[in-house]
Structures are given as C-alpha cells and as structure tokens.
C-alpha cells in the first residue's frame, strides 16, 4: 500500500477543488490535490460557463433576492448572503489568476473570441490548472477516494485506489471534499459520466448527514436525438430559436413561464423542464434553429453544434429535459466547515445555497466563494490544531494495518458475479430516471424501492475480477445507495416545490413542508428526518 502524508488534502479538481487548493497553498502548508483524472478533466466545471455575481447592474440585494426566490424557502440564508457578498471578490481573484471574466446580464462570462468553439469551462480550467502546476501543491491524478478516515470524531485523511489498482493511504490534518454532484446516476443527464455522487456517500459513511437530496434540477434543453449524446444546448439562445411540438406549434408560449428563453433559463428551469417533460409524454419536442441567421452559426455557442455532422441548421431536432444539478448535499457553514472537525466541503457536493431549485450561474460562484473559504479555513484549522490532537492509540502502524485489511476486503475475489457491472449500472440509471426523474408519485416510488432491492442483491454479488471492476463495484454501491435515499426522501415529501414534483401532490405546501430533509446512514440503511427551514427575513 502506498502511503502519503500532507497537511491539507483536496479531493476533486473541478473549480471548487482547484480554488480551495490555490487558497490553501498560500498558507505555506503542504497541499495535495487529487481527482479521478488529470486536473480539471472529467469535471462538470469543464462544461460550465456563466458566473452569477454582483456587477454594476446587478446588486447584492438582487443576488440574494433571485437566489431565495428560485430556492422557494429552502435555502440556508447565511450561505446565500455570503455568496452575494463575496461573489464579486471571487471574480476578482479569478481575474488575478489570469481568468479573463467580463460582465454580462447578472454576472460574468469568459472573455473569449466568439469564433472559438471550445467550452468556456475547458478554457478557464486550463488557466487555473497552469496556475496550480506552477505553485507548491502536489498533484496526484488518477486516484479515486473510497473512504474518508475519521478517527476519534476527527478527520485523519482518506483511503483510495489509483487507476492502476494500487491502494493509497493518505494521512492529512485537514480534508476538503470537492467531489461535485451526482447527475450521472440518471440515464438522461448532461453531466460528465464519472460524476456519480462519490462525495455524498463518502460523507454519509463518515457519519455526516446529507440534506435535501430529493431536489434534483433538470435542464430543459438537452439533445434527445437517438444517435447523439445528451448534450446541453447552451445559452444564450437566438431570438429565432423556437420550441415546437409535433404539429409545429410553439411550446414556450403554452408553457406558462414568463419571459423569453434566455430569461426563463436562469430562474424557471424547474417549471419549463416539468412542462416539457410532461408534454413529451404526448408529443415529441423539437428545438428549431432553422431560422437562425447564418452569421450566428460562426459564433459560440452555435459553432459548437456546427462541428457535428447532424443537420442542426436544416431541420428541427428532438430535445428533452435531462438531469443537470443536485441541490442537496453536505451541510457547511459560511467558512466551508462540516460537522467533522478538519473536514471541509465546497462546490456541488455541499448543500444550502440553492434550496429547492438553483438560479443559473450560481453553481460556479458557489464553487469559487466556498472553495476559497474552505481552503482558508482548512489552513487555519491545521495551524491552530497542529499534531497535538492525534490520539495515542492511532500510531502510523495501527492505521496502516487497519487500512491494509480494508484494502484486502475491497480486492477480495470470489465466485458469484452473474451480472456484468456495466449492465447493472445501466439498469440502476434507468430506474433512477423512471422513478425519481422529473415527476414522482407514491405508487411508482414504492415500486422503485422494490425493484431497487432486487438490483441491490445483484450488486452485492459482484466481486472485482479486474481493477476496472473494483471501481465499478464502488460506483454500483454508491449509486444504489443514493437512489434509495432519493426514493425514500421523495416518498415522504408530500408536496411539489421548485425542482421537486409529486404528481399526486401538485401544490407547494408551506404549512407542512417548509422543511429540509436530513438523510443519515445507520447500519447501512438510510434514515430520514426533517427540520424547519431557515426562517424568512
């Protein structure tokens, strides 16, 4: 087993991870950053583009107001205020790191030649990666964390496997969880394939509760043509773009949402996604770009579509909503601290900013504001606690032996794997989309739980025959646990709110459900309680 020691371990190399590492290394402490792939690769950050933050036309009060309105009463108010207060400072820091951000409607976008078709996220991650590589932080790509090490109630490090199969024990005085969300647990999603909610399960297994996992945001405009990937149609949308049903009738007008596509996509994704999803049960839904002037196709974002062989310019094409973002996650305070001393979290893995639905552009700002805060707090934590708190019975040798035994358990080979892990993952993703997709209902939710139980039995029988299976088995276990949590949480919430829709309880019920849902793992079972949401002003 490989053993490493550091002061601060950052798990994840999307925007939250990179910025927390850059901030932490300013303290002069040893920082280690790792991710499943190379820095920035396989991250949802690489797909993103817009930051919502204060600018001369969008005040702090505006930012707080639109975030709370979109979140429908379930946001953590202190986090929303921090987001709005520190958003511009985060933009300034990004600019200092060399990311050229310019003002746009309610925030900032990358200043780039319009004719370049590369995604904005890829471009700004490249700048940040170079910055990180030029600094003092150690970078370890290709390592997947399987467990956080918590001893005596405090974080001690993490355990994982390199993609070549070598187990790693990493001792660290502070750990920052920046593992992103879980959109790819669904069959229809626009996330990177490896974004499977690892961080949520790491936190649950470390004894932390998760909040509001049942709130999952869909993006309304995602390709649904059979031979194309589920690629998101990026804003801004041309005034000539239209949403049509099979009869060629305009759907935006019929949806009841207020405003044009570019306004709606910021704060009414929930309503539009729901409308389109339900409309798609009766008729195919098409996006029509045939009237868009030629010049627009040379510019971002349409020049991204232009690279495809598909005739986007010549005929309307099929779209359908797809899972985009997880509002739920790990509870943090305004400094990114979790309830486990020494463990911090930032980015999509964290909960609280968005409430029941996310305002567009707030995820990147959240990564920036709370990523930097987590980096600073982790450094302060290490400085203030030092080595003094390591319990005497936790000698390096004891810890090594313990995790060597654990590594052997993960690697145990046995007969009995009748299923191919990839087929099982597909089955789980289908189940997620069908039963905990955009619309949920008591009968199907119960049916989903029954079906999941039989899939869980099949997952249990999988033993890793290859290094690849080792990772797939973990993915299967994580995905089934998260699906179970969302099924159970959805069954209990007998209302509709934001991105959460119950077909059998269509209305928002503030009298009974102005509450956050708390998920805990007890003896490998999900336990759910509720607590009142943070009060309105």
Ligand X SMILES: Cc1cc2nc3c(=O)[nH]c(=O)nc-3n(C[C@H](O)[C@H](O)[C@H](O)COP(=O)(O)OP(=O)(O)OC[C@H]3O[C@@H](n4cnc5c(N)ncnc54)[C@H](O)[C@@H]3O)c2cc1C
**Size of interface with ligand X, in residues (CB under 6 A):** 42
Comparison of 190 and 214: residue with beta carbon closer to ligand X = 190
Question: Looking only at residues 16 through 75 of this chain, which bind ligand X when binding is defined by CB under 6 A?
Answer: 16-17, 34-37, 42-45, 47-50
Out of 7, 270, 348, 427, name the contact with ligand X by CB under 6 A: 348
* Residue 427 interacts with ligand X (CB under 6 A): yes or no: no
What are the C-alpha distances in Å from 437 to residues 214, 323, 386?
A: 10, 8, 46
How far apart are CB 393 and ligand X at their closest, in Å? Answer: 28
* Residue 338 interacts with ligand X (CB under 6 A): yes or no: no
CA distance 448 to 485: 12
Task: Report the DSSP pairing between strands 167-177 and 2-11.
Answer: parallel
Question: Looking only at residues 208 through 237 of this chain, which bind ligand X when binding is defined by CB under 6 A?
Answer: 232
How far apart are CB 19 and ligand X at their closest, in Å? Answer: 8
CA distance 425 to 402: 30
For 439-497, the three-class secondary structure string (H helix, E strand, C coil) is CECHHHHHHHHHHHHHHHHHHHCCCCCCHHHHHHHHHHHHHHHHHHHHHHHHHHCCCCE
Binding mask 471-510 for ligand X (x = CB under 6 A): ----------------------------------------
**Nearest 5 degrees, angle CA 372-CA 26-CA 86?**
25
Comparison of 51 and 513: residue with beta carbon closer to ligand X = 51
Comparison of 1 and 394: residue with beta carbon closer to ligand X = 1
**Nearest 5 degrees, angle CA 484-CA 498-CA 477?**
20
How far apart are CB 49 and ligand X at their closest, in Å? Answer: 4
CA distance 108 to 94: 11
CA distance 466 to 23: 38
Q: What are phi and psi of 133, to 5 degrees?
A: -65, -25
CA distance 358 to 324: 10
* Residue 305 interacts with ligand X (CB under 6 A): yes or no: no
Comparison of 234 and 500: residue with beta carbon closer to ligand X = 234
* Residue 364 interacts with ligand X (CB under 6 A): yes or no: yes
Out of 4, 8, 15, 169, name the contact with ligand X by CB under 6 A: 15
What are the C-alpha distances in Å from 400 to residues 81, 348, 405?
A: 43, 31, 9
Comparison of 25 and 348: residue with beta carbon closer to ligand X = 348
Comparison of 145 and 451: residue with beta carbon closer to ligand X = 145
* Residue 145 interacts with ligand X (CB under 6 A): yes or no: yes
Comparison of 355 and 448: residue with beta carbon closer to ligand X = 355
Give the position of tokens 């998101």.
Answer: 232
Out of 6, 82, 104, 191, name the contact with ligand X by CB under 6 A: 191
* Closest residue by Cα to residue 110 from 24, 234, 221: 234
Comparison of 3 and 510: residue with beta carbon closer to ligand X = 3
* Residue 179 interacts with ligand X (CB under 6 A): yes or no: yes
Q: Are 24 and 379 contacting, i.e. CB atoms less than 8 angstroms apart? A: yes
| Residue of this chain nearest to ligand X (CB atom) | 14
Q: Are 236 and 294 contacting, i.e. CB atoms less than 8 angstroms apart? A: no
* Closest residue by Cα to residue 368 from 42, 41, 54, 2: 54
Q: Are 195 and 48 contacting, i.e. CB atoms less than 8 angstroms apart? A: no
Comparison of 25 and 366: residue with beta carbon closer to ligand X = 366
* Residue 359 interacts with ligand X (CB under 6 A): yes or no: no
How far apart are CB 52 and ligand X at their closest, in Å? Answer: 7
How far apart are CB 461 and ligand X at their closest, in Å? Answer: 23
Question: Looking only at residues 309 through 328 of this chain, which bind ligand X when binding is defined by CB under 6 A?
Answer: 324-325
What is the enclosing helix (H) or strand (E) of 531?
strand 525-532
Comparison of 155 and 491: residue with beta carbon closer to ligand X = 155
Question: Looking only at residues 157 through 176 of this chain, which bind ligand X when binding is defined by CB under 6 A?
Answer: 160
How far apart are CB 478 and ligand X at their closest, in Å? Answer: 9
Binding site for ligand X (CB under 6 A): 11-17, 34-37, 42-45, 47-50, 144-145, 160, 178-181, 190-191, 195, 198-199, 232, 324-325, 347-349, 361-364, 367
């Amino acid at each position: 087993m490989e053993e490493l020691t550091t002061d601060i371990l950052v798990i994840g190399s999307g925007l939250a991870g990179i910025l927390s590492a850059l901030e932490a290394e300013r303290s002069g402490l040893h920082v280690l950053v790792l991710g499943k792939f190379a820095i920035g690769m396989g991250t949802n950050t690489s797909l993103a583009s817009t930051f919502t933050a204060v600018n001369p036309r969008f005040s702090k009060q505006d930012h707080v107001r639109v975030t709370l309105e979109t979140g429908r009463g379930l946001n953590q108010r202190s986090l929303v205020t921090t987001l709005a207060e520190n958003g511009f400072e985060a933009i300034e820091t990004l600019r200092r790191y060399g990311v050229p951000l310019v003002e746009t409607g309610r925030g900032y976008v990358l200043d780039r030649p319009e004719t370049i078709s590369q995604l904005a996220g890829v471009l700004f991650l490249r700048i940040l990666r170079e910055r990180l590589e030029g600094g003092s932080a150690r970078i370890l790509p290709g390592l997947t964390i399987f467990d956080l090490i918590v001893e005596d109630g405090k974080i001690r490090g993490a355990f994982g496997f390199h993609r070549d199969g070598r187990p790693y024990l990493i001792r660290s005085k502070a750990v920052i969880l920046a593992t992103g969300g879980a959109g790819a647990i669904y069959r229809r999603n626009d996330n990177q394939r490896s974004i499977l909610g690892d961080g949520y399960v790491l936190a649950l297994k470390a004894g932390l509760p998760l909040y509001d996992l049942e709130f999952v945001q869909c993006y309304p405009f995602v390709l649904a043509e059979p031979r194309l990937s589920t690629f998101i149609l990026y804003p801004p949308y041309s005034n000539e773009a239209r949403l049509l049903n099979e009869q060629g009738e305009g759907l935006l007008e019929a949806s009841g949402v207020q405003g044009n596509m570019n306004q709606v996509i910021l704060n009414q994704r929930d309503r539009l996604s729901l409308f389109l999803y339900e409309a798609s049960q009766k008729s195919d839904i098409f996006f029509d770009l045939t009237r868009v002037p030629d010049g627009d196709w040379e510019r971002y974002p349409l020049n991204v579509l232009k690279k495809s062989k598909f005739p986007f310019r010549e005929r309307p094409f099929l779209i359908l909503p797809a899972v985009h973002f997880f509002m739920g996650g790990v509870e943090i305070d305004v400094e990114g601290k979790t309830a486990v001393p020494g463990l911090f979290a930032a980015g999509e893995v964290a909960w609280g900013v968005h409430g029941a639905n996310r305002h567009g552009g707030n995820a990147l700002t959240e990564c920036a504001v709370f990523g930097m805060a987590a980096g600073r707090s982790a450094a302060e934590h290490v400085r203030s606690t030092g080595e003094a708190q390591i319990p005497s019975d936790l000698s390096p040798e004891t810890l090594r032996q313990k995790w060597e035994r654990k590594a052997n358990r993960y690697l145990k080979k046995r007969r009995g794997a009748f299923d191919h892990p990839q087929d099982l993952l597909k089955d789980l993703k289908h189940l997620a989309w069908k039963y905990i997709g955009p619309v949920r209902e008591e009968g199907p939710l119960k049916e989903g739980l029954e079906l999941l139980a039989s899939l869980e039995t099949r997952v249990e029988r999988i033993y890793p025959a290859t290094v690849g299976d080792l990772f797939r088995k973990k993915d299967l276990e994580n995905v089934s646990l998260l699906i179970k949590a969302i099924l159970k949480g959805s069954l209990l919430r007998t209302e509709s709110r934001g991105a959460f829709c119950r077909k059998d309880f269509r209305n928002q019920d503030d009298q009974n459900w102005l509450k956050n849902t708390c998920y805990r793992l007890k003896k490998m079972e999900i336990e759910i309680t509720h607590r009142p949401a943070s009060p309105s002003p």
